[in-house]
């Protein structure tokens, strides 16, 4: 029976023809692949079992459980999971543009409009995770933000977006102005749920009455856990706007200290031209006290974020 199951798993794997490497992390290599059953291109995350201890293997299975539950346009879609003797395979939809990280490297920094276009989509994914699924991501960074490219059609005034009604793939004026350097990024999708953690929600998942016995550190940890994602969004937004992260030091001790004190500045000359609204928004995310930090709803209602909608209303 074991043997039959094993053979079946390998047969399941035959469905995917692995192609070139798309990226890699600490424990995994991600390949482009063709699903021979549907003919479609997919992404297969290959994880070597022998590199993982039991706890880490359990974490992979948890990542799969979490991914399975997800259904949101800004989160990579889970397609299949196969376990063989030596590897785990997580099959996902292919997000063909690659990492936002590479775009920052390529363009040094992004315009305010393009930064907003990206961060809003990440925020929608986070709102879904925090409010509907009850999961904290815990590893939001430009390497884990993938994008679908959009066609830019050359025009007299530079590159222009191909017409689309999908608000996620609409470019705003800033992006059109900057042409390919500022555009080309359509739908942004959050990947990598390896570190994410299910939130325990007192009012939905635990029967009333037992709440009174819950230790304060559990409740506290709970209350603060969503805030770590908001901090990370602040770090990402800062980096998109100027091209370097808010906290950096070659010595890990110094870096830790800077983070612990929320010690960062809007360095001149890089931040000189960036709007006060953008800076205020970043400041409300990189707030030391997690209780005073923006929640996901605060963030999505921030005036700088809402400028996006205002622009659309005006130009529509
Ligand atoms: P790890 O947990 O090892 O960091 P990730 O899930 O973040 O693994 O994947 C590693 C890299 O592989 C990503 O940073 C990205 O470059 C690429 N990648 C992952 N998933 C996809 C996908 N669905 N489509 C395209 N590229 C992907
Ligand atoms: Mg990753």
Q: pLDDT above 70 covers what percent of the chain?
A: 78
Instruction: Name the token pair of 285.
Output: 């995310």
Residue 29 CA to ligand 2 centre (angstroms): 10
| Cα-to-chain-centroid distance, residue 264 | 23
Which atom in ligand 1 lies closest to the alpha carbon of residue 93? 23
Of 70, 192, 195, best ligand 1 pocket probe by most atoms within 8 Å of the beta carbon? 192
Determine if residue 158 is left, alpha or beta; phi over 0 gives left, psi from -120 to 50 gives alpha, anything else beta.
left
- How far apart CA 62 and CA 73 sit, in angstroms, is 21
- Structure confidence at residue 175 (pLDDT): 44
Nearest Cα neighbor of 185 from 111, 126, 129, 236 is 111
- How far apart CA 23 and CA 30 sit, in angstroms, is 5
- Structure confidence at residue 215 (pLDDT): 65
Residue 21 CA to ligand 1 centre (angstroms): 10
* Sequence-separated (6 or more) residues with CB below 8 Å from residue 296: 123, 126, 127, 130, 131, 226, 229, 230
Dihedral sign (CA 93, 152, 166, 309)? positive
The pLDDT-based confidence of 64 (bands split at 50, 70, 90) is: very high
| Cα-to-chain-centroid distance, residue 33 | 22
Q: Which ligand is nearest to the CA of 99?
A: 1
State the DSSP H helix or E strand holding residue 24, giving kind and residue range, or none if neither: strand 16-24
Of 138, 191, 193, 196, best ligand 1 pocket probe by most atoms within 8 Å of the beta carbon? 191
Q: Using alpha carbons, list the distances in angstroms from residue 164 to 24, 139, 147, 152, 160.
A: 32, 31, 16, 11, 12
ipTM: 0.98
Residues facing residue 45 across a β-bridge = 30, 90
Give the lowest-confidence range in 36-40, 60-64, 155-159, 268-272.
155-159
Highest mean pLDDT out of 49-58, 217-226, 268-277: 268-277
Residues serving a catalytic function are: 139
- How far apart CA 223 and CA 39 sit, in angstroms, is 45
Which atom in ligand 1 lies closest to the alpha carbon of residue 76? 23
DSSP annotation of 212 reads G
Is the pLDDT reported for residue 312 higher than 60? Answer: no
List ligand 1's pocket residues with C-beta within 6 A.
Answer: 22-28, 30, 43, 45, 76, 92-95, 98-99, 143-144, 146, 191-192, 194
Task: Look at ligand 1, atom 7, and give the residue with the nearest C-alpha.
Answer: 192
Task: Look at ligand 1, atom 17, and give the residue with the nearest C-alpha.
Answer: 23
Span 65-102, pLDDT tens digits: 989 999 999 999 999 999 999 999 999 999 999 999 99
Residue 112 CA to ligand 1 centre (angstroms): 26
Highest mean pLDDT out of 107-116, 192-201, 275-284: 275-284
Q: Which ligand is nearest to the CA of 24?
A: 1
Task: Look at ligand 1, atom 16, and give the residue with the nearest C-alpha.
Answer: 23
Q: Which ligand is nearest to the CA of 95?
A: 1
The pTM assigned to this predicted structure is 0.85
Of 23, 145, 196, best ligand 1 pocket probe by most atoms within 8 Å of the beta carbon? 23
Q: Which ligand is nearest to the CA of 79?
A: 1
The answer to whether 280 is annotated as binding is no
Task: Look at ligand 1, atom 8, and give the residue with the nearest C-alpha.
Answer: 25
At what angle are helices 276-285 and 303-315 packed, to 10 degrees? 140
Alpha helices of 90-169 — where are they, by DSSP H?
Answer: 100-107, 112-127
Residue 24 CA to ligand 1 centre (angstroms): 6
- Structure confidence at residue 8 (pLDDT): 86
Residue 14 CA to ligand 1 centre (angstroms): 21
Establish how many alpha carbons lie within 13 A of residue 230's alpha carbon, considering only the half-sphere containing its beta carbon.
27
Task: Look at ligand 1, atom 11, and give the residue with the nearest C-alpha.
Answer: 23
Residue 63 CB neighbour total at 10 angstroms: 21
At what angle are helices 276-285 and 216-242 packed, to 10 degrees? 150
């Amino acid at each position: 029976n074991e043997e039959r199951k094993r053979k079946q798993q390998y047969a399941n794997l035959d469905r995917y023809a692995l192609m070139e490497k798309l990226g890699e992390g600490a424990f995994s290599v991600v390949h482009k692949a063709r699903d021979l059953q549907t003919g479609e291109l997919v992404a297969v995350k290959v994880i070597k079992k022998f590199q993982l201890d039991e706890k880490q293997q359990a974490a992979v299975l948890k990542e799969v459980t979490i991914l399975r539950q997800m259904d949101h346009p800004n989160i990579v879609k889970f397609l299949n999971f196969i376990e063989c003797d030596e590897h785990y395979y997580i099959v996902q939809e292919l997000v063909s543009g690659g990492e936002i990280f590479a775009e920052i490297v390529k363009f040094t920094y992004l315009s305010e409009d393009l930064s907003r276009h990206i961060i809003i989509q990440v925020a929608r994914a986070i709102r879904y995770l925090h409010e509907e699924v009850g999961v904290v991501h815990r590893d939001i960074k430009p390497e884990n933000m993938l994008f679908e490219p959009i066609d830019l059609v050359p025009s007299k005034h530079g590159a222009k977006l191909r017409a689309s009604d999908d608000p996620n793939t609409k470019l705003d004026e800033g992006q059109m102005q900057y042409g390919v350097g500022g555009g080309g990024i359509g739908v942004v999708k959050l990947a990598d749920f390896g570190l994410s953690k299910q939130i325990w929600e007192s009012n939905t998942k635990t029967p009333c009455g037992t709440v009174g016995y819950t230790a304060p550190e559990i409740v506290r940890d709970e209350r603060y856990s969503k805030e770590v994602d908001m901090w990370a969004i602040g770090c990402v937004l800062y980096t998109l706007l100027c091209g370097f992260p808010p906290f950096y030091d070659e010595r890990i001790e110094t870096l830790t200290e800077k983070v612990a004190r929320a010690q960062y500045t809007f360095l001149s000359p890089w931040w000189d031209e960036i709007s006060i609204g953008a800076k205020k928004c970043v400041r409300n995310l990189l707030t030391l006290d997690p209780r005073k930090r923006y929640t996901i709803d605060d963030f999505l209602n921030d005036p700088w974020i809402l400028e996006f909608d205002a622009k659309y209303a005006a130009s529509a």
